Amino acid sequence: MPTPYADALRHFNDRNPIRLNIPGHGADEAAVPYLAEYFGEQILERDVTPLLPGLDVGKDSPLAAAQRLAAEAWGARRVWFLTNGASQANRIGALAFGGFRSADDPVLVQRSAHSSFIDGMILSGIHPVFLQPRIDEEYGIAHGVSVAELRRKLQENPKTKGVYVVSPSYFGAVADIAGFVEVCHSAGVPLLVDAAWGAHFGFHPELPQHPISLGADLVVSSTHKFGGSLTQSAMIQLADGPFADELEALVQRAFMVSQSTSMSSLLLASLDLAREALVNGEERIAKSIAAAEDLRTRIREDGRFGIVSDGWEFPEIVAADPLRVSIDVRKAGLNGNAVLDLLVSKAMYPEISTHSCIVAFVPPGREPDWPRFLEALGSIEPAGPLAYSAADAIGLPQPGQLKLTPRHAWFSPTEVVDAADAVGRVSSESLSAYPPGIPNALPGEEFTKETIEFLRHVAATPGGFVRGAYDPSVSKVRVVAD
pLDDT band at 437 (very low <50, low <70, confident <90, very high): low
- For every residue of 338-364, DSSP letters joined together read HHHHHHHHTT---SEE-SSEEEEE--T
Using CA atoms in the order 176, 181, 187, 189, what is the torsion angle rounded to 10 degrees?
120
Hey, is 477 helix, strand or coil? strand
Domain 406-480: top CATH class: alpha beta
Domain boundaries, the chain: 84-259, 282-392, 406-480
Is residue 435 over pLDDT 70? no
Q: Which CATH architecture has domain 84-259?
A: 3-Layer(aba) Sandwich (3.40)
Contact 227, 274 (CB under 8 A): yes
Pairing relation of β-strands 218-221 and 234-238?
A: antiparallel
- 330/301 Cα distance (integer angstroms): 17
Given the candidates 3.90.1150.10, 3.30.300.30, 3.10.310.10, 3.90.580.10, the CATH classification of the domain at 282-392 is 3.90.1150.10
- 209/317 Cα distance (integer angstroms): 14
Question: Looking at per-residue confidence, does 28 or 223 come out higher?
Answer: 223
In the chain the first and final C-alpha atoms are separated, in Å, by 61
Hey, is 221 helix, strand or coil? strand
Q: How far is CA 147 from CA 110, 144, 451, in A?
A: 12, 10, 27
Query: For the chain, what percentages of helix, strand and coil (3-state, to nearest 5) are there?
Result: 40, 15, 45
- State pLDDT tens for residues 66-100: 999 999 999 999 999 999 999 999 999 999 999 99
- State pLDDT tens for residues 17-58: 989 898 999 988 888 888 989 999 899 999 999 999 999 998
pLDDT band at 359 (very low <50, low <70, confident <90, very high): very high
- State pLDDT tens for residues 371-407: 999 999 999 999 999 999 887 777 788 889 999 999 9
For 129, the enclosing helix (H) or strand (E) is strand 128-131
Is residue 60 over pLDDT 90? yes
pTM to 2 decimals? 0.95
